[in-house]
Amino acid sequence: MRFDDRFIDEIKSRLRPSDVIGRTVKLQKRGREYVGLSPFTKEKTPSFYVNDDKGQFFDFSSGKTGDLITFLQETERLSFSEAVEKLAGEAGLALPAVDPRAAEQEKVRQGLQDWLETATQWFEAELRRPVGREARAYLERRGLPEAEWARFRLGFSPGGRTALKDYLITKGARPGELIETGLLIAPEDGGAPYDRFRDRIIFPITDARGRVVSFGGRAMDPKARAKYLNGPETSIFHKGNVLYGLAESRKILAAAPATEHPPLAVVEGYMDAIACQRAGVAAVAPMGTALTEEQMEALWRYHPEPTLCFDGDRAGQAAAGRAIDRALPLLKPGKSFRFAMVSGGKDPDDVLRDQGAAALRAQLSETTPFVEVLFQREHDLEPLDTPERRAAFKSRLRAAANAIADKDLQQAYREDLLRRFDAASPKPAQAERAAGQGAYGRRESWRGGRGGRGREWVDPAPTPLGRTAAKRLAGSLDLVPAALAKYVIDDPAVLDDHLEDALTAQGFGDEALVDLTKEIIRLRLDAEHLDSAAVSRHLAQCGFSNLLTDIDRAAATSSAPILKSDVSLEAARSQWSQAFARLSRLAALDEAIAAAKGNLGGRPAMEALERLKGERDALKRAIRDWND
């Protein structure tokens, strides 16, 4: 009898290898593995390991390894079908009925996969032919050398409309079959089918067993409408079920020593998954969509806590939020997720290319538990400055815990989240400030930052008199430098492209901020992961508490657009960079003017000095206008 992959996977999801094998081999728990004497050889020292997370056994005395089906075949001399039938009975699954029609569909399916495999080989060959020269150069620039291409079966599709079609037809393929595989597009007007992938680098997409089920293509033409193009839904490719890189990741997990517990990362793209795997980290990527429930269940078959690694931009954070909401009802004891974010706003491919495999592995190992990310997401939705908002926050935490189907885990989450809520609730002194009495005896108001960037202080009475008083209380800090410093504290990543310049920028243009700026830069250089709370906490520990308060107050009296709540993260970062560049240029002009004054020697020197002064005055007006 022929059993499809779904049936086999369902059996494996219902049975733990240690339970089944433990009836034959006496096993003892050792860390995350079970250890016993080999059933295949005579030995006195245990060298037989069973790993439930990987769904496999490893016998170091005989060199045999495999899954539950393999174990029964080896120990009980059963055929594949007999082993599956026995395991299906233990799992409580009825065997699929023999269906001639299903058998015919399986034959058709196998034929389609054969054509996909033939197409893969053709794409691989095209990459190495003259027509693939630019594609080869692109891969080299991305830090992916030729020695790695075969491992990931990378290929290239030429720009002609029917190059692949013509080749496969000469091999005996029918156009209808190739349309069914997704390799060809059938025009709606009834015209001749043509190649779907043209002038693209090809990434074969495989199932968990390594069989090609579709392709992804990266456009070589920068003007192409779609930078990345995936094959369509077909009878053998369902985007919501497949994870790119899973077959290779299974090899990496299986090859890990029994005493190690390697991670399984979920990243956002083909190149990121490849980068992780090249660094020795098992990694997969969904098909350009949010992680589905089916993909989550598939991940848990190979790892109890896969690591979700999304980009640090707004889209990446939105994807993380969707993953949290979808995962909550599915969480079970021993089945969860962790979160990681590579530093500097980069993705894994960038880190591997710029910093090397060791740096990528180190960053992916710095993870945050699911419960902590969930709590922080709900915490950052709005400020907690009133009883109503704090009550709403507590209600959201309860609702999140209630979404978990497993009752024991639901209760554990409720207790953990509420403990965190109590720890985050303002103490009496904090409550007094939250009620409106600030350190300077004035009313205060706070509003939430964008995308978790922290909170920003807002003057509740922005009258001319109030602004004047606030500015005086702010220790006479210049407003624009204070606004820039405030933004850096809320969004430390904005500083990454300006670290060297910031060291010489003299506190963003205000000498009172020089030491604080240097400390932020030092912290940014030392820390792989940094957020607003960490920066504020570190600066307070370094003795900058009063200055932080002054910065809050001075920034609140400015009208800098980067601190407005309706400005997107991307726009705010761009405006910060522009303002920083202006202040840096202003500092350079001041130095140039001082030097010119010391070297006056005739009319040309005087004219040069006047030009410098004119540029400085114009720049000051631009900075003032930006702040007004």
Mapping DSSP onto H, E and C, the string for 220-235 reads CCCCCCCCEEECCCCC
DSSP E strands: which ranges in 433-505?
446-448, 455-457
DSSP class of 50? E
Interhelix angle for 5-14 vs 68-76, to 10°? 90
What pLDDT digit, counting tens, does each position of 389-409 carry?
A: 999 999 999 999 999 999 999
Q: How many CB atoms lie within 10 A of CB 342?
A: 27
| Whole-number Å distance between alpha carbons of 269 and 287 | 8
Lowest mean pLDDT among 80-84, 218-222, 334-338, 368-372: 80-84
Helix, strand and coil in the chain, % to nearest 5: 55, 10, 35
DSSP E strands: which ranges in 439-519?
446-448, 455-457
Residue matched to tokens 């640090």? 312
CATH code, 5-91: 3.90.580.10
Lowest mean pLDDT among 291-300, 524-533, 582-591: 524-533
- Per-residue confidence at 525, pLDDT binned at 50, 70, 90? low
Tell whether the model's pLDDT for residue 512 goes beyond 90.
Answer: no
Backbone angles phi, psi at 456, to 5 degrees: -125, 145
Q: Is the CB of residue 557 less than 8 Å from the CB of residue 478?
A: no
User: Which residues on neighbouring strands pair with residue 205, listed in sequence order?
Assistant: 214
Backbone angles phi, psi at 326, to 5 degrees: -75, -30
Closest CA to 197 of 177, 178, 218: 218
| Residue 255 one-letter amino acid | A
Chain-centroid distance of CA 534 in Å reads: 20
Identify the pLDDT of residue 468: 42
- Which residue did the predictor score with more confidence, 577 or 393? 393
- Which residue did the predictor score with more confidence, 469 or 218? 218
| Whole-number Å distance between alpha carbons of 288 and 291 | 9
Identify the pLDDT of residue 466: 41
Tell whether the model's pLDDT for residue 341 goes beyond 70.
Answer: yes
- Per-residue confidence at 597, pLDDT binned at 50, 70, 90? low
Q: Is the CB of residue 610 less than 8 Å from the CB of residue 593?
A: no
- Per-residue confidence at 126, pLDDT binned at 50, 70, 90? very high
What count of Cα atoms within 13 Å lies in the side-chain half-sphere of residue 185? 13
* Residue ranges covered by each domain of the chain: 5-91, 100-230, 246-366, 376-425, 449-627
Identify the pLDDT of residue 71: 92
| Whole-number Å distance between alpha carbons of 481 and 509 | 6
Chain-centroid distance of CA 606 in Å reads: 56
| Whole-number Å distance between alpha carbons of 589 and 583 | 10
Tell whether the model's pLDDT for residue 605 goes beyond 50.
Answer: yes
Q: Which helix (H) or strand (E) holds 368?
A: strand 368-369
Q: Is the pTM of the predicted complex or chain greater than 0.85? A: no
Tell whether the model's pLDDT for residue 202 goes beyond 80.
Answer: yes
Q: Which CATH superfamily is domain 100-230 in?
A: DNA primase, catalytic core, N-terminal domain (3.90.980.10)
Question: What CA–CA distances, in Å, run from 88 to 11, 25, 49, 378?
Answer: 6, 20, 23, 43
Instruction: Return the top range by mean pLDDT from 41-45, 278-282, 450-454, 555-559.
Output: 278-282
- Report the SS3 class of residue 544: coil
- Report the SS3 class of residue 213: strand
For the chain, the distance separating the N- and C-terminal CA atoms, rounded to the nearest angstrom, is 78
What pLDDT digit, counting tens, does each position of 227-236 carry?
A: 888 999 998 9
Q: Is the CB of residue 270 less than 8 Å from the CB of residue 301?
A: no
| Residue 518 one-letter amino acid | K
Q: How many CB atoms lie within 10 A of CB 352?
A: 27
- Checking DSSP bridges between strand 155-157 and strand 184-185, what pairing results, if any? unpaired
Q: Which CATH class is domain 246-366?
A: alpha beta
- Per-residue confidence at 79, pLDDT binned at 50, 70, 90? confident
Tell whether the model's pLDDT for residue 419 goes beyond 90.
Answer: yes
Average model confidence (pLDDT) across the chain: 81
| Whole-number Å distance between alpha carbons of 583 and 562 | 15
Identify the pLDDT of residue 464: 43
Q: Is the CB of residue 263 less than 8 Å from the CB of residue 281?
A: yes
Q: Please calculate the CA angle 77-82-84 and round it to the nearest 5 degrees.
A: 115
For the residues 311-338, what does the mean pLDDT come to?
A: 84
Max Cα–Cα distance, the chain, nearest Å? 103
Question: What CA–CA distances, in Å, run from 286 to 200, 246, 268, 375?
Answer: 20, 10, 7, 25
Where would I find the H helices in 491-544? 499-503, 506-509, 514-526, 532-541
Instruction: Return the top range by mean pLDDT from 233-242, 496-505, 612-621.
Output: 233-242
What count of Cα atoms within 13 Å lies in the side-chain half-sphere of residue 333? 6
Tell whether the model's pLDDT for residue 457 goes beyond 90.
Answer: no
- Checking DSSP bridges between strand 307-309 and strand 338-340, what pairing results, if any? parallel
| Whole-number Å distance between alpha carbons of 610 and 593 | 9
Closest CA to 115 of 48, 46, 165: 165
- Per-residue confidence at 190, pLDDT binned at 50, 70, 90? confident
Q: Is the CB of residue 45 less than 8 Å from the CB of residue 57?
A: no
- Per-residue confidence at 470, pLDDT binned at 50, 70, 90? very low
